[in-house]
Structure 1
Amino acid sequence: MKKILITGANGMIGSSIVNELIDLHELILIDLYSDKIDKFRGRATIINFDLRNISEWESILEGVNTVIHLAAAVHWTPKNKKEEQYFIKTNVEGTRKLFEACNKYNVARFLFFSTNDVYEASNNLITEETPVNPKNIYGKSKLLAEQYLLDVSKNSNTSVCIFRPASVYGENDKGSMKSLIDLCKKGVVPMIGKGKNKKALLYIKDLVQAVKKYADSENDFNREIFNISSGNYEYIEIINSIAKVFDLKPIRIYIPKLLCTKIASKIGPLKKLAIAGETKMISCDKASILLGYKANFSLVEGLKDSKYYII
């Protein structure tokens, strides 16, 4: 049993990880909110603090073996430079302060949750060796944090491992899968071109198993980066799967792909259409070989399993 501290423990991913590890390790849970993890009080230490106030609680890192760092600014688009700086302060500066505290208290391992947004869309299969080129402030801030961690971990007491998860869906989802399901429920969904572009998706329970593999391992995986996904699916396959699982018959509005790439990508409210038309396929071969990761859920199985999407 290891002593593990999780930041962002009340979020979609964090609360799922807590549910998996609660009986296996001694957990310290950090989040400003705790509605999803309050049920674990008495079985875990819960601290309701913001990551930016780390000086107020950093001493609890004494004796911690592993930190799983999830806390981040995500799921919203900044409207100005000031709001962009919030991403930098939270995702970069917050990570730096936390890592410095981990090094100070001799924490052995640090798992940083980055994102596949550090990669740009591509028709080629993306591996960890693919050059990074983030297009949004979230991806840029995560990449800056990665670069800091990889640099400082060369001469640190604390090893660093980085996960770059694909688009995560499942219980408590607030992302693109939820948006697509909501559109299908309303009866109308956009189809970009012929819908043949592929997307990397990651079911929450598959991601949790990858984290468990890391937490249970005695390998520090220092300075290793792992892409994590459940599979690559055509956009039309995603829509068809949603319709099949939830017995929906949405009207499909076909939009020329050229319209999305050349026009929608430049218009704020329509940028999501442009993103929906992109291709981003992720390889998990490295995670499979070194981490022992294996996706257990197909898209249909993940949709059926997820409590959040029950209609």
Structure 2
Amino acid sequence: MSKKILVTGGAGYIGSHTVSKLSKAGYNVVVYDNLSTGSASAVLSGKLIVGSLEDKNLLYQIFSEYKFDAVLHFAASISVSESILKPLSYYNNNTCNTLQLLQCCQLFGINQFVFSSTAAVYGEPKENPITELSPTEPINPYGRSKLMSEYFIDDYARTSQFRYVILRYFNVAGAELKANIGPSSQKAEHLSKVCCDAALGRRPFVSIFGTDFPTPDGSAIRDYIHVEDLAQAHIDALRYLEQENSSQIFNCGYGQGYSVKEVIEKVKEISGVDFPVKEAPRRKGDPACVIACPDKIRQMLSWQPKYNNLDIIIKTTLNWEKKLIKKL
């Protein structure tokens, strides 16, 4: 009998890619999503239940009915700039709702939990690449809301049989190779998506937020991980927990950094479009350089990324955005 997995936020960008892989791996998946940024059309398999994590009665009903073996928790607000403007909203959606979900796990005896966290918990790193032992000093409410959730998860695990894997994402990019799913939210701030939008004429220009960072070309450097490799990391994390292994935190990145300017030039090269670019001031809460050390996840989960290539990341994003245009 296949194991039942609850995936919160499974209609969103990363969640939908993971749901697809879970189903192909033989899991019985239930997606719980309020569709505020996700799309029902992105749920290619499993059962979709539309609801909010704040709806305790509906959550209890679902947990009681399906008797899940594990929970993968993606649902969250993820914009750094928005979190600075709406901090209480972020603490409510990211932190309080994680607490609500943990209480359901406690009540219904679910002891396997995979949590979507972020490199934003590290803040402005003092050294790169960043390891899981690097100081956690977030510099924006988004990062703090995720770190507080990590504390909740760890504190609960210390008092019970509950075990977790926390995955700290670096910069997620790309789309499913056959363009069946990808980043569909109109509010998405992913640089590769924004650049592809400009290349396809859907936005007038791309802004570079900060050209005076202490980096070789003055623009911020990030570690871009293809969404399909990140989705696979969740499958590997779930299987790790199924083998009764101890709770762990893993960085999810390639250990390779690209600057904003390098990404823009790569999109121009692949698309063949020289779209306008404007320089803008730094955004509050943006660190200069964030690069992962992926050694731990490679060693402990035997995670083997397949798409560590900026060309593949841009090409899959561009193909997905072209498909979206055809749907309009």
TM-score of the two chains, using structure 1 as the length reference: 0.84
Please tell me whether residue 106 in structure 1 is matched to residue 130 in structure 2. Answer: no
In the aligned structure 2, how far is the partner of 1:100 from the partner of 1:216?
23
Counterpart of 1:45 in structure 2: which amino acid? K
The verdict on how the C-alpha distance between 1:188 and 1:86 changes in structure 2, with shifts beyond 3 A counting, is closer
Question: Which residues in structure 2 correspond to 1:1-311 (within 5 Å)?
Answer: 1-23=2-24, 24-33=26-35, 35-37=39-41, 40=44, 44-62=46-64, 63-75=67-79, 77-78=82-83, 83-122=86-125, 123-170=127-174, 171-172=182-183, 174-177=188-191, 178-183=193-198, 186=204, 190=208, 192=211, 194-195=216-217, 198-217=221-240, 218-235=242-259, 236-250=261-275, 264-265=281-282, 271=283, 275=286, 278-297=288-307, 298-306=309-317, 307-310=319-322
The verdict on how the C-alpha distance between 1:157 and 1:104 changes in structure 2, with shifts beyond 3 A counting, is farther
SS at match of 1:114: strand
> Once the 2 structures are TM-superposed, how far is the Cα of residue 233 of structure 1 from its aligned partner?
2.6
> Residue 123 of structure 2 contacts residue 139 of structure 2 at CA under 8 Å; is this kept in 1?
yes
In the aligned structure 1, how far is the partner of 2:244 from the partner of 2:117?
18
In the aligned structure 2, how far is the partner of 1:39 from the partner of 1:109?
23
> Once the 2 structures are TM-superposed, how far is the Cα of residue 180 of structure 1 from its aligned partner?
3.6
> Residue 92 of structure 1 contacts residue 141 of structure 1 at CA under 8 Å; is this kept in 2?
yes
> Residue 194 of structure 2 contacts residue 206 of structure 2 at CA under 8 Å; is this kept in 1?
no
Q: Report % sequence identity.
A: 24
In the aligned structure 2, how far is the partner of 1:299 from the partner of 1:147?
34
In the aligned structure 1, how far is the partner of 2:83 from the partner of 2:221?
27
The verdict on how the C-alpha distance between 1:224 and 1:78 changes in structure 2, with shifts beyond 3 A counting, is closer
> Residue 207 of structure 1 contacts residue 228 of structure 1 at CA under 8 Å; is this kept in 2?
yes
> Residue 161 of structure 1 contacts residue 221 of structure 1 at CA under 8 Å; is this kept in 2?
no
Q: For each residue in 1:6-43, what CA deviation from the matched residue of structure 2 results, as whole angstroms up to 9, or x when unmatched?
A: 00111111111112222410111101237435765xx6
Counterpart of 1:243 in structure 2: which amino acid? K
SS at match of 1:77: helix
Q: For each residue in 1:257-285, what CA deviation from the matched residue of structure 2 results, as whole angstroms up to 9, or x when unmatched?
A: xxx8xxx34xxxxx17x83x711111111
> Residue 203 of structure 1 contacts residue 230 of structure 1 at CA under 8 Å; is this kept in 2?
no
In the aligned structure 1, how far is the partner of 2:84 from the partner of 2:170?
25
In the aligned structure 2, how far is the partner of 1:281 from the partner of 1:243?
24
Counterpart of 1:31 in structure 2: which amino acid? D
In the aligned structure 1, how far is the partner of 2:251 from the partner of 2:7?
20
The verdict on how the C-alpha distance between 1:232 and 1:213 changes in structure 2, with shifts beyond 3 A counting, is same
The verdict on how the C-alpha distance between 1:207 and 1:188 changes in structure 2, with shifts beyond 3 A counting, is closer
Give structure 2 stretches of 5+ with no counterpart: 175-181
Matching residue of 2:179: none
In the aligned structure 1, how far is the partner of 2:54 from the partner of 2:224?
30
Counterpart of 1:16 in structure 2: which amino acid? H
> Residue 183 of structure 1 contacts residue 189 of structure 1 at CA under 8 Å; is this kept in 2?
no
TM-score of the two chains, using structure 2 as the length reference: 0.80
> Once the 2 structures are TM-superposed, how far is the Cα of residue 204 of structure 1 from its aligned partner?
0.8
> Residue 164 of structure 1 contacts residue 228 of structure 1 at CA under 8 Å; is this kept in 2?
yes
Aligned residues: 292
Q: For each residue in 1:55-106, what CA deviation from the matched residue of structure 2 results, as whole angstroms up to 9, or x when unmatched?
A: 32324325311100011122361465xx321211111111111111112111
> Residue 114 of structure 1 contacts residue 142 of structure 1 at CA under 8 Å; is this kept in 2?
yes
In the aligned structure 1, how far is the partner of 2:153 from the partner of 2:95?
10
> Once the 2 structures are TM-superposed, how far is the Cα of residue 245 of structure 1 from its aligned partner?
1.6
> Once the 2 structures are TM-superposed, how far is the Cα of residue 52 of structure 1 from its aligned partner?
0.8
In the aligned structure 2, how far is the partner of 1:5 from the partner of 1:228?
21
In the aligned structure 1, how far is the partner of 2:229 from the partner of 2:189?
17
Which stretch has the larger CA shift, 221-230 or 54-63? 54-63
> Once the 2 structures are TM-superposed, how far is the Cα of residue 213 of structure 1 from its aligned partner?
1.3
> Once the 2 structures are TM-superposed, how far is the Cα of residue 169 of structure 1 from its aligned partner?
1.5
The verdict on how the C-alpha distance between 1:91 and 1:252 changes in structure 2, with shifts beyond 3 A counting, is closer
> Residue 40 of structure 2 contacts residue 48 of structure 2 at CA under 8 Å; is this kept in 1?
no
Counterpart of 1:11 in structure 2: which amino acid? G
**Once superposed, what is the RMSD of the aligned Cα atoms?**
2.6
